[in-house]
Amino acid sequence: MAIQKRRKKNANNTRGGIVKAKRHTRDIDQIHDDLKAPEKFSNMPVDEDLPGRGQHYCVSCAKYFITDIALVAHFKTAKHRRRLKQALDDPHTQESAEAADAGGWPSPTDIDKRSASLLKRRSPPRPTYATPNITYGGGDGCLRGRGWMTGERVEARPMPLPPDEMVVASTAAGGRERRSRSSRGSINPGPPGYSLVDELGRGGCATVYRGVCRASAASVALKRVDKTVAGLHLNLVSERQAAKVQADFGSAYREIAVLRALERGRGNGGPSRVCGLIEVLERKRALWMVLELCPGVPIGRAFTTLQGEFVGGKRIYCVRPTPLFHRVIADRGDFGRVFVQDVVRQILEGLLELADCGYIHGDIKPDNVMLDAASSHSAVKLIDLGSAVRPGREKALFEAAATLEYMPPEALNATKGTSADGWKVDTWALGAMILEWATMAPLWLSYPCRAYLEPSDGHGRRSSTRHREGGFVAYPQGGLFAVSGKDPCKIAQRQREVSDLPLLLDDTKQHGIPLGRWRHALSFLASLLALDPDDRLSARTAAVHPFLLETPEPCQV
C-alpha cells in the first residue's frame, strides 16, 4: 500500500519531466552521462506501458524512479554505491538482462526478493563469463582474433569460459602450468611460470611489471592488457568502455605482430635496439606479454626531474637536470657531444631496424626510449610499439593514441603531405626530443615552468630560489609545443616556431645541451624539424649526417 501511494504521489508531482522509459539493462555509466544533459530529455513522450511505475530503474537497488531528478539524487546516496558494488557481479543481473531483451519486466515481488538477496550476500560470486579467446601465431606470424574485433563496436555478449583455468598461447620450456592459489602475489596474479616483483609503470592501455621466470630465474618485463573493464560485469560495460578495450587489444595485437616480425628478420649482427618479445600468455581475464627487461630508465627521467612548487603564491613546475645531464650540459672534454651523438645514433639504429621490417614506430618520445648509462658505454632500447604502423597509414596514429606533441605537422593536420616517405614521422619526433633537451622544458607541459641549470641536492630537497633569481629560464606558456586541450591544429601552429632555430635557441633561453657550440648540430636539428616532409631527413640520411660522423671538435663562437 505504501509503495502504491508513493508512486501515485510521484506521478501527480510530475510536470512534463517524465521521460521515455529506460530499460534497466542500460549501463549505469551511460545513464549518468545522459542525466548531465537535461536537453536530451525534452519533448519525449511518456511510456504508457509503465503507468505509475516510474520511468527509470536502478539495477543495484531494485527501485523505480519517475523523474531524472529523483534518479540523480538516488545515485549520490551511500546506500546506492554500496549496493551497486555488490550488484555488479550478481548473477541475477544476467537474468534481468535476458528478461528485458525478451520484452519482460521484473515484477515487484521479484524485485523485493532480489533486493533481500543482495543485502544478505556477503561475497557475491565472480562472473562466469569472459571475453573470447585469442589465437596467436599462424603462417605469417600475425595475430588472429575470434569474435572479438568484429568491427567498430565490441559486442558485449556472454561467452563460455575455456575448459582450463588459463590458456597458454605460447608456452616456455616446461609446457603448460597451472598457477596455484597459494603462489598468488599481493600485486596481481601473474601469468603461469612467472612471479611478479614490482610495478614498473602504468599507462592508459596496459600495466608493466618486473617479473622473474621460475624456470631460469631470469628477470623479465610483464605487460598486462585487461580483457574486460575492471570491476564491471560484462553486460554493464558501456559502448565507450568496450571501444577502449577494443582499442587496447588492437594496440597489443599490433605490438606483438611487429615484435614477431622483428624476431624473424633479426640476424646475427650487432645488438638489437628494440625491446624483444619472449612469449605471449593468455588468461581468461588478461593478456600477458613477456618482454625483455631493458636496463636503465626512460631517457626523460634520466635527463631531467619535474616537480611542482609554489613560487609567489602560484604553482610553477620546476625542471632540473639530473647529475648525468648536468655533465652533458657542461660538456667538459667533449663529453656532452660524444654522449648525445652516441644516444642519437642508437635511436636511429632502432628506427632503421624497424624500417627493415616495414614499420614506423609512431610514438617516439622520452618515455619510450630506455637509457642505460650505468655502464661505461650507454645503451639505448626502443619500447612500446603499440602505435607502430605501415608507411602510408600515418592517419592511424590518432587511433593508436600517439603523443600529439611529438607528431609532425602533416600528421596533426590529417594530411598526406607531399612526401611519400612515411619514415620521416619518427625523425620529426627525434628532432622534437633533441629540441626538448636543448630547452629543458617538456614539450607536452601546458603549465608555466622554469628550467634551472643546477640539479637538486642529493637529499631530494628543493633548493631555495631566493638567491638565484637569474639561474633559470621561465616558460610562461609551458613547453614549446604544448597547448591546453591537446588540439592538434593548435599544436601544429606552435610547431611553426621551429622554422627559425637560431632565434629560438638563443643564449637567453638555451639551458640544455649547447647545440650552438657544436659544429653541424643546429643544421642537423633543423633538418629533422623541417616543416616540409620533403626537406626533412629520414632515418637513413640522418645516420650519415656530418654531425654524427664528424670527430668532436668544439666550434669557436
pLDDT tens digits, one per residue of 384-396: 998 888 887 655 6
Using 50, 70 and 90 to split pLDDT, how confident is the model at 160?
Answer: very low
Task: Name 214's Cβ contacts closer than 8 Å, sequence gap at least 6.
Answer: 193, 194, 195
Phi, psi of 274 (to 5 degrees): -125, 140
SS3 content of the chain, % helix, strand, coil (to 5): 35, 15, 45
Would you state the pLDDT for residue 382?
A: 95
Secondary structure (3-state) at 303? helix
Q: CA 282, CA 169: separation in Å to the nearest integer? A: 6
Query: Residue 144: what residue type?
Result: R
Q: Which residue has the higher pLDDT, 53 or 385?
A: 385
Would you state the pLDDT for residue 162?
A: 33
Q: Which residue has the higher pLDDT, 547 or 264?
A: 547
* pLDDT surpasses 60 at 116: no
Return residue ranges of the chain for CATH 3.30.200.20: 134-292
Return residue ranges of the chain for CATH 1.10.510.10: 332-443+485-549
Instruction: Give the residue from 119, 31, 129, 19 showing the smallest Cα distance to 74.
Output: 31
Q: Which residue has the higher pLDDT, 342 or 114?
A: 342
CB 154 within 8 A of CB 243: yes
CB 473 within 8 A of CB 509: yes
Q: Which residue has the higher pLDDT, 56 or 25?
A: 56
Using 50, 70 and 90 to split pLDDT, how confident is the model at 190?
Answer: confident
pLDDT in tens, 101-114: 444 434 434 434 44
Task: Name 262's Cβ contacts closer than 8 Å, sequence gap at least 6.
Answer: 272, 274, 276, 277, 353, 354, 357
Would you state the pLDDT for residue 551?
A: 66
Provide, rounded to the nearest whole percent, the portion of the chain with pLDDT above 90: 26
Using 50, 70 and 90 to split pLDDT, how confident is the model at 437?
Answer: very high
* pLDDT surpasses 60 at 496: yes
Q: For every residue of 28-61, which 3-state class applies, written as one string?
A: HHHHHHHHCCHHHHCCCCCCCCCCCCCCEEECCC
Q: Kindly state the cell numbers that stand for 416.
A: 598526406
Would you state the pLDDT for residue 128?
A: 35
Would you state the pLDDT for residue 59?
A: 60
Would you state the pLDDT for residue 365?
A: 94
- CATH fold of 332-443+485-549 reads Transferase(Phosphotransferase); domain 1 (1.10.510)
CB 113 within 8 A of CB 140: no
144 forms beta bridges with 135
Would you state the pLDDT for residue 332?
A: 81
**Which of 253-257, 416-420, 503-507, 540-544 shows the lowest per-residue confidence on average (mean pLDDT)?**
416-420
CATH code that applies to domain 134-292: 3.30.200.20
Q: Which residue has the higher pLDDT, 445 or 500?
A: 445
Looking at every residue in the chain, the average pLDDT score rounds to 69
Strand (E) or helix (H) holding 494: helix 488-494
Instruction: Give the residue from 433, 425, 389, 393 showing the smallest Cα distance to 407.
Output: 425
Please provide the size of the chain in residues: 557
* pLDDT surpasses 90 at 267: no
Would you state the pLDDT for residue 223?
A: 94
Strand (E) or helix (H) holding 65: strand 63-65
Please give the span between the terminal C-alpha atoms of the chain, in angstroms, as a whole number: 93
- Cα separations in angstroms, 76 against 72, 79, 443, 449: 7, 9, 39, 38
Using 50, 70 and 90 to split pLDDT, how confident is the model at 18?
Answer: very low
Would you state the pLDDT for residue 20?
A: 34
- Parallel/antiparallel/unpaired status of strands 449-452 and 314-321: parallel
Would you state the pLDDT for residue 80?
A: 73
Q: CA 356, CA 70: separation in Å to the nearest integer? A: 61
Would you state the pLDDT for residue 370?
A: 95
Taking the CB of residue 372, how many other CB atoms lie within 10 A of it? Answer: 15
